[in-house]
Amino acid sequence: MRLTINVSQFHALSDMARQRLQRSGVHKISFVAQVSDARTGQVLAGPEPIRADLVAHTGQQALQAESQGQIQKVRITNHLTRVIAGWTGAGSDDVRGAFQRVGG
């Protein structure tokens, strides 16, 4: 199988924004996913637009997360892994739940 991802939007917080914001900020992530047979090229699923926004850690929460090794890259990578696993049926699809947050 071949997974094709075309990113349409990616926005993470700058260091300055993460330091200044408190309880606001969102990593905006949108992409189109498609699964195809690697040998034949036949499309098996998609293309499907997927929103994978993630609440950003800011202020003290960001500092605490970083001290535990949870930098933005790690959080976003882990989140996208769970989102794609959920979309393909290899994991739970509840990681894309709705939330309200300034910046999202």
Encode pLDDT of 55-64 as tens digits.
Answer: 999 988 888 9
Q: What is the pLDDT of residues 8-31, one digit of tens each?
A: 999 999 888 888 888 788 999 999
Model confidence at 97, pLDDT cuts 50, 70, 90, reads low
- Share the mean pLDDT of the chain: 87
CB neighbour list of residue 30: distance below 8 Å, 6 or more residues apart = 7, 8, 9, 10, 49, 50, 51, 52
The model's confidence at residue 102, banded by pLDDT at 50, 70 and 90, is: low
Tell me how far apart the alpha carbons of residues 93 and 83 are, in angstroms, rounded to a whole number: 7
pLDDT for 104 beyond 80: no
Give residue for tokens 């637009």: 49
In 34-104, which ranges are continuous DSSP H helix?
59-67, 72-88
Decide if 31 contacts 6 (C-beta within 8 A).
yes
